[in-house]
A and B are shown apart, each in its own frame.
Chain A
Amino acid sequence: MDAYMGIDVGSVSTNIALIDDDNKVIETLYIRTKGRPIEAIQNALQTVGKKIDPSIVVKGVGTTGSARTLSQAIVGADVAKTEITAHAVAASHYHPNVRTILEIGGQDSKVIIMEDGVVTDFAMNTVCAAGTGSFLDHQAARLELKIEDFGDIALQAKARLNIAGRCTVFAESDMIHKQQTGHSKAEILRGLCDALVRNFINNICKGKRLDPPIIFQGGVAANKGIKVAFEDALGCEVEIPKHYNVMGAIGAAILAREHMEQQGGKTEFRGFEVTNFDYETKSFECEDCSNMCEVIKVLMNGELIARWGGRCGKWEITG
């Protein structure tokens, strides 16, 4: 059977999705990146390689996420596209009428506005990571809860509490203040969900029209408290797709399929054996001018396969 693979390497999680010719999902995988993207890719590929039917032939590979260039070099991908394009492609495939996509991941959050299956506008958080998965993780850890239980506890709250959500530093001191004056954990968590959503709508959506149908995806979509807070704020239902946490990978797989069908030819994929290769990245500071660019080299079994990071382009290939 033919299959196409999408790999989404983000700051917090590394996801893989395999789809067939009809974009039906064959296999998905969600693991934590833990700050070591190369190892995460290798582990993920190994797991998937073992799990799938040996008759499956990978015909094309797409990468996405903040480490898309690195993962493209390592696995030999045919396309590398941004998370925004990948998320939009995946969402519009499963929900052709979708108008608004909310996506909250580990380090960034985005809103994508669609019309007739085409992206017409998007925005992404820039200087500040307030209201992303990492902050929720951090708060859950501070309160000694499992992040999985966060949403359920928040929904038990009886009263609404106002938490300052503009900046995580302020949010945290506000939460501590509320906790010291005797508010329950549930109320504080619910307040945090509301604050995060308020911040998202004010700071990222900034005047964009959020029309239904609305889809909410990314790792944070698992948090029921945030979903309910979005529904309250937007006054309409917010849908969460079945594969909400690997939508980026699914999108990358669809893009890879479209690319291969258009271009024809053979995939660049190095095969699941890449897990046996020895990858190493080295970086050095170029001292030839005052820019002092940090150049990165990727070595596969001791052999240089990629190099980037310079401003002037001399460390890269020029053709």
Chain B
Amino acid sequence: MTYKIGFPRMGETYIGFAKLVELFGYDLALPDALSKKTIRLGVQHSPEYACWPFKISLGSTIEALEAGAEVIGTLGGSGPCRAGWYGELQRLILVEDLGFDIPHFYPMYHLNDVFKIAELGGTKSRYRALKCVKYAWDTMRTAEYFEKIAIKQRCREVNIGETTKVQNEVMKMLTETYEPAKLKQAKKKGTAMFESIETDKKMKPLKVGTVGEIFVVIDPFANLEIEKKLGNLGIEVDRSLYLTDWIWRELVMDYHPVTGYFAKKYLHDNAHGYLHEPVGGDALEGIAWINLYKEKGYDGVIEIGPFTCIPEIVTKSIIPTMSRDLDMPVQTYNIDEHTGEAGFITRLEAFGDLLSQRRDGVPLPTRDPVTGRFSSADFGAVEGKA
């Protein structure tokens, strides 16, 4: 028989995971895109003090179960951050509190967990399973490659909203691709689609890098679409963390101490003087990347962390010193269910003004970060579209 499998969503990574389990031989019970409903479910059934990624992923897992999932693959961890136990805690909540019947629940700690899922789905051969993994990996890399282009290019677009439209189209194209040769074509086609967007080539936008906890850095729903908002304000964005980079470094290379040492060397080198040990979560990465962004000539850095996330609190307490030493403005956002969007937008806009005044002596042109509209003159254009 064919099992139905589900997993919580995180940004665009679901495209790769969906590919993986479909190739293993499962039917897909994909939860809906993260929404207010996800939050409602997650918050209702989570401990009050659990962090934002826990609540969102629990909500999303419940939505997968509602969609008929019999097998759940979910997040495990490797670091000493409490997220390493989230899978186990969620299993307890789902099975014992909510009474879901989940015979197959796999938090991902290890490559062996992937093989277990492959076997259950009907892919007994490890060689075949690895081939599926390779294809899913490439899909995920391609999705990340497109995201990278989008956040870099959005600030330059002439017709506001076009980048987002193209991004949605290319992601849809990836979900419909199943063969390595077609994937290569899709990558080429997607790149061409981004290139065909009309952009302001002369523009010299401000550049901002984002660092912080992986879930809230990667997932646009969890971070209130910070990358899109910055892009709409006319700021080029770069993300320090992508899931494949993290998996490669923390789960694959770290399998052996020697390879692990070399994979993480650049982080230790760049964080040197501020943080000498990994303290869990993505604190070391964050500190190292603030330094790297300074070297790359970025104008500012934004640290995003879930409210109550200890590693991010450590990062936050190191930032004032780093910011002074490097002469680099850094803003911290702690995100939670209660984060009001109005205050969030105010701080984003003010940060943009700060960077612009530092570099050019004037604040940014007035734009609405949600829509990218320029001035009140634009408001008139909606007439008749009620």
A interface residue numbers (CB < 8 A to B) = 66, 69, 72-73, 76-85, 108, 118-122, 124, 126-127, 206-208, 255, 258-259, 262, 268, 289-292, 297, 303-308, 311, 313, 316-319
Q: How far is the CA of A291 from the CA of B36 in the complex (A)?
A: 5
Min CB–CB distance A305 → chain B (angstroms): 6
Take A66-B342, A268-B376 as given contacts and tell me if A317 and B382 are in contact as well, using a CB distance cutoff of 8 Å.
yes
Q: Is B323 located at the chain interface by the 8 A CB criterion?
A: yes
Per CB-CB distance, the 6 closest pairs between chain A and chain B, nearest first, are: A84-B350, A290-B35, A318-B161, A316-B371, A306-B379, A85-B353
> Contact at A126–B343, with CB atoms within 8 Å?
yes
Q: Does B354 interact with chain A (Cβ within 8 Å)?
A: yes
Cβ of A112 to closest chain B Cβ, rounded Å: 9
- Which residues of the partner chain A approach B349 to less than 8 Å between Cβ atoms? 81-82, 85
Q: Which residues of A contact B192 (CB under 8 A)?
A: none
Q: How far is the CA of A258 from the CA of B366 in the complex (A)?
A: 13
Q: State A181–B361 Cα separation when bound (angstroms).
A: 56
**Does A268 lie within 8 Å of B375, measured CB to CB?**
yes
CB distance from B210 to the nearest CB of A (A): 18
B91-99, B179-187, B269-277, B333-341: which lies at the interface: B333-341
Query: For residue A126, which residues in chain B have a CB less than 8 angstroms away from its CB?
Result: 334, 339, 343
Q: Across the interface, which residues of B come within 8 angstroms of A120, CB to CB?
A: 329, 354, 358
Interface 1/0s, chain B 253-293, versus A by CB < 8 A?
00000000000000000000000000000000000000000
Asked if B37 lies at the interface with its beta carbon under 8 angstroms from chain A, I say yes
Are the C-beta atoms of A119 and B36 separated by less than 8 Å?
Answer: no
CA distance A39 to B366 in the complex (A): 24
**How far apart are the CA atoms of A76 and B33 in the complex, in Å?**
37
A317–B386 touching, CB < 8 Å: no
What distance in Å separates the Cβ of B206 from its nearest Cβ neighbour in chain A?
Answer: 14
Does B294 reach chain A (CB closer than 8 Å)?
A: no
A118/B383 in contact, CB under 8 A: no
B contact residues around A127 at 8 Å (CB)? 307, 334, 336, 338-339
Contact with A along B156-184 (1 / 0, CB 8 A): 00011110100000000000000000000
Contacts of A259 in B (CB 8 A): 366
Seen from chain B, the residues whose Cβ lies within 8 Å of a Cβ on chain A are 32-33, 35-38, 159-162, 164, 225, 307, 317, 320, 323, 329, 334, 336, 338-339, 342-343, 346-347, 349-351, 353-354, 357-358, 361-363, 366, 368, 370-371, 373, 375-386
CB distance from A271 to the nearest CB of B (A): 14
Beta-carbon contact of B346 and A83 below 8 Å: yes
Distance, CA A124 to CA B348, complexed state (A): 11
A119 with B353: in contact, given A81-B366, A316-B371, A317-B373 (CB under 8 Å)? Answer: yes
**Which B residues are in CB contact (< 8 Å) with A85?**
349-350, 353-354, 363
Chain B residue contacts of A76, Cβ below 8 A: 376
Complex: A126 Cα to B339 Cα, angstroms: 7
In the complex, chain B residues whose CB is within 8 Å of the CB of A313: 161, 164, 370-371
> A297-B386, A306-B379, A308-B371 in contact; A290/B37 too (CB < 8 A)?
yes
A316 and B370 in contact (CB under 8 A), knowing A77-B376, A290-B35?
yes
State whether B363 touches A81 (Cβ < 8 A): yes
> Complex formed: what's the CA distance from A126 to B377 in Å?
32
Let me know if A119 and B375 touch, CB within 8 A: no
Bound-state Cα–Cα, A318 to B166, Å: 14
Contacts of B347 in A (CB 8 A): 82, 84, 122, 124
Does A73 lie within 8 Å of B339, measured CB to CB? no
Does B368 contact A69, Cβ atoms closer than 8 Å? Answer: yes
Known contacts A313-B371, A319-B159; is A122 also within 8 Å of B354 by CB?
A: yes
Give A294 to B358 CA distance when docked, in angstroms: 36
Q: Which residues of A contact B386 (CB under 8 A)?
A: 297, 304, 307
Closest-CB distance, A232 to chain B (whole angstroms): 24
Q: Which residues of B contact A66 (CB under 8 A)?
A: 342, 346
Asked whether A303 lies within 8 Å of B377 as measured between CB atoms, the reply is no
A89 and chain B: residue at smallest CB distance = B363
Known A-B contacts A73-B379, A290-B32; the reply to A121 vs B307 at CB < 8 A is: no
Closest to B37 in A: A290
> A293 — nearest CB in chain B belongs to which residue?
B36
When chains A and B are docked, how far (Å) is the Cα of A72 from the Cα of B377? 10
Which residue of A255, A268, A308 is within 8 Å of B370 (Cβ)? A308
Q: Report A-chain residues with C-beta under 8 Å of the C-beta of B159.
A: 318-319
A84 touches B353 (CB 8 A): yes
Closest residue of B by beta carbon distance from A117: B357
